[in-house]
Amino acid sequence: MASVFHPLFSAYILLLLPLVAAQSSAGDIRPSTFIEATDDANPWLSSSNHFALGFHQLENKDQFLLAIWYYKIPNRTIVWYANGDKPAPRRSKVELTADQGLVLTDPNGLLIWRSDFATGEVAFATMNDTGNFVVYSDSESLWESFNNPTDTLLPTQVIDRGGLLSSRHKENNFSKGRFQFRLLPDGNAVLNSINLESNFTYVAYYISGTYDQQNSSNSGFQVRLDQDGSFYVLRGNNQTHSLSVGDEAPSADYHYRATLNFDGVLTLSSYPKNTGSSRNWSVVKTIPDNICTTNFAELGSGTCGFNSICTLKPDKRPECKCPPGYSLSDANEEYGNCQADFMQGCAADAQNSSQDLYKLVELQNTDWPTSDYERINPCSVNDCKAYCLQDCLCIVAVYNENGCWKKSLPLPYGRQDTQVTSISFLKVRKDNFAHKTPPTMPDKKGNQNSLIILISVLLGSSVFVNFLLVGILCMGSFFLYQKKISRNQRNKTIIQSSLRYFNYEEMEDATNGFKEELGRGSFGIVYKGVIDTDSQHQTGVAVKKLDRVVQDTDKEFRTEVSVIAQTHHRNLVKLLGYCDESQHRMLVYEYLSNGTLASFLFGDIKPSWNQRTEIAVGIARGLCYLHEECSPQIIHCDIKPQNILLDDYYEARISDFGLSKLLGTDQSFTNTNIRGTKGYVAPEWFKTVPVSVKVDVYSFGVLLLEIICCRRNVAMDVGEVEREILTDWACDCFLEGAVDALVDSDAEALSDKMKLERFVMAALWCIQEDISFRPTMKKVLLMLEGIIQVPAPPFTSPLTSHSCQI
C-alpha cells in the first residue's frame, strides 16, 4: 500500500524523535537548567508538587543547603541533602550538566559537590513524587538520590547490604553526626556510634538479629520502607523481619519516613495526607525503644556527652542535661560534654577534709552504668555515701540492691528513668565553703636575723669550737636531708600508685600468721586475710606473698605495683595495697567469695550454659581492656582457669598479673623467657619469634573451649584417646559437623546451637598456630557478642598437626 504521509510530515516526526526519547514529561529538567542560591529561589518540583529539590537557607542566612523536602507539608521536612559538611555561600549555583549531572558550585565557580556516576551523557533529570531525584541518559538512570541516602529513608527506597544512613550533627546542623544505621554484609541491621575524628565504628547498640548462621542465604539482604509504613528487613527466603511494630497500624493514608536523628534514635514517623497545616509528624516507632537505658557497650559517650544525664521525652527522644554543679563544656552543644564547675581530685583536696569541701547530691532513679572502679558489697546506703565522701578519687557513688559502686571521671551513659532502680550520690563542692588558712610559713626576714646572730656567736668562739659546731650542723643537716628524701620517695610511691601501704607486721596480723592458704601461683602463695577499712568496718582480702625473691621477681613486683594500680575494669581483680619491707614483698587484692573459675567449671555440679557464656564474654572484655585500652598495654601471659576469679554474682575477674609483660605505646611485641602454664602456652613461646598480645588470644581460645565443654584441656580419664586433648578433639568435632558432642547432654547449650557454634568457631580462631590468623581480643569479643559474623576457621591438610590449621 502506498504511503499517504507527506514528506515534510515525515521529516517533522524524525525531528521530534530525540525529544520524545530524552524527555518523559514537561516537568523534566534539561541540561543547562540551574537554580541560584537566593532568598526567593524557586525549587524544582515533582509532578504533583509533593517534593522539591532546591536551596534550603541555614541559620546563617548567607549559607545554603542543596536539599530535597516535602513541599506541601509546613515546617519544612528535609529528607535528603548534598553538602551538609560544606554549606554553599549565597549566589552559589546548582546546575544540571550534560557530562556530570548535578553540579553545585560557589559564586566563583569552584566545585562544592556533584552527583557521581561512571559514564554516560545526561539527557534529563526528574524530581519524582516518591522523593527520588533521578538523572537519566537516553536509556537508563545514571544517578539517584535514593541510592545515595543521607539520614532519611522514604517509602519505596531500599538499603542494600553495605548501605547506611548517617545522622546529622544537630537538628539544624547538617554536617556529619555521630550515629549510623547500617545493613551489614552478614544481613544484620545495626545502629552504632562512631568517633568523628577517626571514623572508628563503635560496637552496635541495636542489632536486628537477621543473620541466619545456619543458612546465610536466608539472612537479611535489604531494609525496606513500604508505602503503607511497613518498615522491615527482607530476608533471602522472602520472609520479613519487622522493624516498625508500634502503636499505629500501617496505612496508605499517611506519608511515612524513617529518619536517623542526630541523637541516635531511628524514628519511623507518619503525617496524614489529607489534613490542615496545624498537624505535626507523629512517632510510630523508635529504635531503640528507650535510648537512655540502652547499653552503648564500652566506648563512646552514648547519646549524651560525658558526665551528662539522659532523660526520655514524651516523643521518645532524649533530653540531655548536666548534673548539679556541672555545666556544658561548650554552651552551644546541648548534647555535648559536661564539666565540673569546681576544682576536684586528690591534688585539689590534699589540704582539706572531704567533709568540709563536699556535699552529696542525691539523684533518684539515676545511674552511670560504667566507669566504676570499686564495688562494695554488702553495704548500707549511709556507708556508701561515706565511702565516696572520704575517697578523693570518687566522683559519684551509685547504690542499688547489688551494693555500692564508686565511679570516677569521665562518666558515660548517664541515665535517669523510672526503669533505673539505682540511687546516685554526686559529690559537689559546698556553696559556702571557705578554704582553710594555710599553715604559717616561716618569715624569711626572721630567718635572716637568726642567721646573723648565729654567725656572730660563732665568730666570737674559738677556732676548735667553731669547727666542732660546723661539723655537728653539717652531719645533722645530712641525716635530716636523707630522712626527708626517703620519706618523699615513699610518699611519692604511695601517691602515684593510690594504694595502701602495709608493713610486714600488719600483713601477719591480717592473715592470722599466714594461716589460711587460698592457692599457689607461679611466684608465691595466696593467703586469706582481713583488713580494717575504718574504725568500724573490715573487708576480706587475698594476700599474695612472693616466696622467691630473685632479681626477676623484684622486677615483676615493681611492675605490678606501679601498673596494676592504674588498671580499673569490672573484669579485673582490684589491687588494694602492697607490702615492701626488707625481703618481704606482698600484694593485697580484693577477696572474691566464689573462688576460681577452675573450681567452678570442674566441680561436681555443672554450671549453666548461660553462666558459662557470660563468664567467657567477661574474660574477653577484661583482656580487651588490657590489650587495647591500657597505657602501657599489658600482656597477661598466664591466662588459665586458676587465674580467673568469680565475684558474688559470678562475674569473671582476671587476676595475677605477676607474669605480665608491659608494652610501650610504640611496641607491638616483646622478647622474653617462656612464661605461662603448660596446655595454655602459645606455640610461638617455643620459637625464636617475638611474643605479642596474641599469646593471650591463644590461651583464651583454650580456656574458652574448657568453658564450653566444662572439662580440662588435657583429660586422660575420658576413655577415648582422640578426646584426651581438648583442642584436637574440638577441631575434629567441628570438621565433622558434630559440635553437639562437645557439650554432651547439655540441653541448654544444645537449644542455643547458633551461639554454641559461634563460640566454638571463635575459640578455633584463637588457637590458630599462625599468629597472623588469630584475631585480636577486640574482634574475639565482637564475635562472642554476635556483633560480627564468625567465618569458618581456615584449614590445611588433615595430615598436619591439630592446631586448627588442620
Looking at residue 659, what is its pLDDT?
47
- Can you give the length of the chain in residues? 806
- 179-207 average pLDDT score: 90
Q: 604: pLDDT confidence band, cut at 50, 70 and 90?
A: confident
Looking at residue 363, what is its pLDDT?
95
Q: And the C-alpha cell for 369?
A: 552504668
Q: And the C-alpha cell for 190?
A: 545495626
- 292-308 average pLDDT score: 84
Distance CA 383, CA 389 (A): 10
- 787-795 average pLDDT score: 84
Looking at residue 434, what is its pLDDT?
37
Q: Nearest to residue 619, comparing CAs of 570, 571, 676?
A: 571
At residue 85, does pLDDT exceed 70? yes
At residue 457, does pLDDT exceed 50? no
- 327-332 average pLDDT score: 88
Distance CA 308, CA 414 (A): 6
Looking at residue 36, what is its pLDDT?
96
- 104-128 average pLDDT score: 93
Distance CA 706, CA 718 (A): 14
- 535-557 average pLDDT score: 69
Higher pLDDT, 76 or 657: 76
Active-site hit among 367, 638, 696, 746:
638
Burial class (CB in 10 A: 0-12, 13-18, 19+), 254: buried
Find the Cα–Cα–Cα–Cα dihedral 170, 176, 180, 183, rounded to 10°: 140
Strands 124-127 and 133-136: antiparallel
Weakest mean pLDDT among 213-227, 330-344, 451-465, 578-592: 451-465
Query: Hunting for cell 532568598 — which residue is that?
Result: 39
At residue 496, does pLDDT exceed 60? no
- 647-659 average pLDDT score: 79
Q: And the C-alpha cell for 281?
A: 509528624
Distance CA 83, CA 68 (A): 12
At residue 488, does pLDDT exceed 70? no
638 is catalytic: yes
Distance CA 801, CA 806 (A): 6
Q: 455: pLDDT confidence band, cut at 50, 70 and 90?
A: very low
Looking at residue 518, what is its pLDDT?
86
pLDDT for 503-541, tens place per residue?
Answer: 999 999 999 999 998 887 666 789 999 998 766 678 889
**Are the C-beta atoms of 696 and 717 separated by less than 8 Å?**
no
Q: 213: pLDDT confidence band, cut at 50, 70 and 90?
A: confident
Query: What would the DSSP string read from start to end of 434-455?
Result: -PPPPPPPPPHHHHHHHHHHHH
Alpha-helical (H) ranges within 296-443 are 354-357, 381-390
For residue 318, list its beta bridge partners.
312
Looking at residue 245, what is its pLDDT?
72
CA distances for 412 relative to 207, 693, 704, 787, angstroms: 21, 28, 30, 21
Looking at residue 432, what is its pLDDT?
58
Within 10 angstroms of residue 569's Cβ, the number of other Cβ atoms is 21
Distance CA 386, CA 138 (A): 78
CA distances for 22 relative to 18, 95, 138, 711, angstroms: 6, 18, 5, 73
| φ and ψ of 157, to 5 deg | -85, 145
Q: Nearest to residue 370, comparing CAs of 414, 403, 330?
A: 414
- 633-658 average pLDDT score: 85
Q: 485: pLDDT confidence band, cut at 50, 70 and 90?
A: very low
Q: 478: pLDDT confidence band, cut at 50, 70 and 90?
A: low
Q: And the C-alpha cell for 54?
A: 532546591
- 411-423 average pLDDT score: 92
Rank 164-178, 196-210, 446-460, 716-730 by mean pLDDT and report only the highest: 164-178
Q: What is the DSSP secondary structure assignment for residue 641, as one 8-state letter? A: G
Determine if residue 574 is labeled as part of a ligand binding site: no
Instruction: For the chain, list the domains and their CATH numbers.
Output: 19-148 (2.90.10.10), 152-289 (2.90.10.10), 341-429 (3.50.4.10), 510-590 (3.30.200.20), 599-784 (1.10.510.10)
Looking at residue 475, what is its pLDDT?
63
Distance CA 586, CA 697 (A): 29
Looking at residue 476, what is its pLDDT?
58
Q: And the C-alpha cell for 741?
A: 558432642
- 220-233 average pLDDT score: 94
Query: What percentage of the chain has pLDDT greater than the value 90?
Result: 48
Distance CA 220, CA 234 (A): 5
At residue 84, does pLDDT exceed 60? yes
Distance CA 397, CA 366 (A): 11
At residue 4, does pLDDT exceed 50? no
Distance CA 215, CA 218 (A): 6
- Average pLDDT over the chain reads 81
Find the distance separating the first CA and the last CA of the chain, reported in whole Å: 80
Q: And the C-alpha cell for 462?
A: 674559738
**Are the C-beta atoms of 277 and 307 separated by less than 8 Å?**
no
- 373-379 average pLDDT score: 91
**Are the C-beta atoms of 292 and 318 separated by less than 8 Å?**
yes
- 277-284 average pLDDT score: 78
Find the Cα–Cα–Cα–Cα dihedral 480, 483, 485, 489, rounded to 10°: -160
- 168-183 average pLDDT score: 94
Looking at residue 719, what is its pLDDT?
63
Find the Cα–Cα–Cα–Cα dihedral 509, 511, 514, 517, rounded to 10°: 180
Looking at residue 440, what is its pLDDT?
36
Find the Cα–Cα–Cα–Cα dihedral 525, 526, 527, 528, rounded to 10°: -170
Residue partners of 701: CB distance under 8 A and separation at least 6: 727, 762, 763, 764, 765, 766, 767, 774
Strands 500-502 and 575-581: parallel
Report field, pTM of the whole predicted structure over 0.85: no
Distance CA 266, CA 177 (A): 13
Q: What is the DSSP secondary structure assignment for residue 686, as one 8-state letter? A: G
At residue 796, does pLDDT exceed 70? no
Looking at residue 337, what is its pLDDT?
92
- 75-94 average pLDDT score: 95
Query: Hunting for cell 586475710 — which residue is that?
Result: 529
Query: Hunting for cell 524523535 — which residue is that?
Result: 17
At residue 45, does pLDDT exceed 70? yes
Q: And the C-alpha cell for 224?
A: 525496606
Looking at residue 76, what is its pLDDT?
92
- 112-133 average pLDDT score: 93
Within 10 angstroms of residue 434's Cβ, the number of other Cβ atoms is 7
Looking at residue 480, what is its pLDDT?
53
Q: 473: pLDDT confidence band, cut at 50, 70 and 90?
A: low
- 240-247 average pLDDT score: 79
Distance CA 410, CA 642 (A): 33
Looking at residue 635, what is its pLDDT?
86
| φ and ψ of 742, to 5 deg | -70, -25
Query: Hunting for cell 603448660 — which residue is that?
Result: 678
Looking at residue 5, what is its pLDDT?
37
Q: Nearest to residue 682, comparing CAs of 694, 673, 671, 668?
A: 694
Q: How far is CA 457 from the centre of its chain?
A: 72
